[in-house]
Every structure is written in C-alpha cells, then in structure tokens.
Amino acid sequence: MKVDVYRNLHQKCFSIRSREKDTYGKVIAHAETVAVRNAQFVVQPAGRDKVIKTGVKNVHAFVRGDLVTNMSPENAWHSVPIHNVECDVTYKPLEYPQFIGQSDGCKFFIKTAAIVLLTEGKVMKAKNVR
C-alpha cells in the first residue's frame, strides 16, 4: 500500500496517510513504529515557508513509500542488508530545506532510502540512502 507517513505532534506517534485511489489523502492508522520501503523524503516548500513565516507547525514533510504490512517493522528493517549507508534521519524546517541524514558524524541531505524505520514517535533510521 502506498502511503505518506508523518510525525503527529498532537498524538505523539506517526500518522499513516493513504495514497491509494479509494482512500487517497485519508489517515488510515496511527502507530508508534512504522516501516516504509522504497522511501522518498518529501518536503513541500510552501508549507515550510509558512512555518518559517508564522512559526506555526503544519504537515508539510513526510516519508512517502510502500507500507510494510507483511511483517513487523523491526523484522522488515533487519531483512534489508546494508549496501551503502545506514543513518539517522531528522527534519528541522528552520535549519534545512530537506531531510538530513547523519552517519559517522557526517550530515548530508537525503532524498531516498531502500527502507526507513520510524519509531518512538520521533526517531527515523534509513538504509541504502541517496
């Protein structure tokens, strides 16, 4: 299932929004741990600009990809071998225009990953990033 996953600041978890035809744009679930394959890190510039101008947070950044439903998120994470980089991922709209990966003390912009594990309502890890 194609989804967008974003951090829900009110419920302190992740919201999973459908990209499928019949449920497009609807939040279909909330979870504390989510795994997404073939992930893209999306930032909508107009939403980021609004956050910078007003100081009010809004949903404008998310992980887009295929929701892992056939196994636990942790098992999905461990099932993907590392081919190049495994990193922690953050997004800070006031500091950077994109998601940032951090590995071995180095920071870099991140656009895609083979798999992303979102846990504890705030932590993101990615494997095989570009």
Which is nearest to 17 in space by CA: 36, 3, 38? 3
Mean pLDDT calculated for residue range 49-73: 94
Q: Which residues pair with 90 in a beta bridge?
A: 100
Mean pLDDT calculated for residue range 30-51: 96
pLDDT of residue 71: 87
- What value does the mean pLDDT of the chain take? 92
- Render 103-121 in DSSP notation, one character per residue: ETTEEEE--EEEEEEEETT
Q: How confident is the model at residue 120 (pLDDT cuts 50, 70, 90)?
A: confident
Q: Could you give the number of structural domains in the chain?
A: 1
Domain that holds residue 64: 2-129
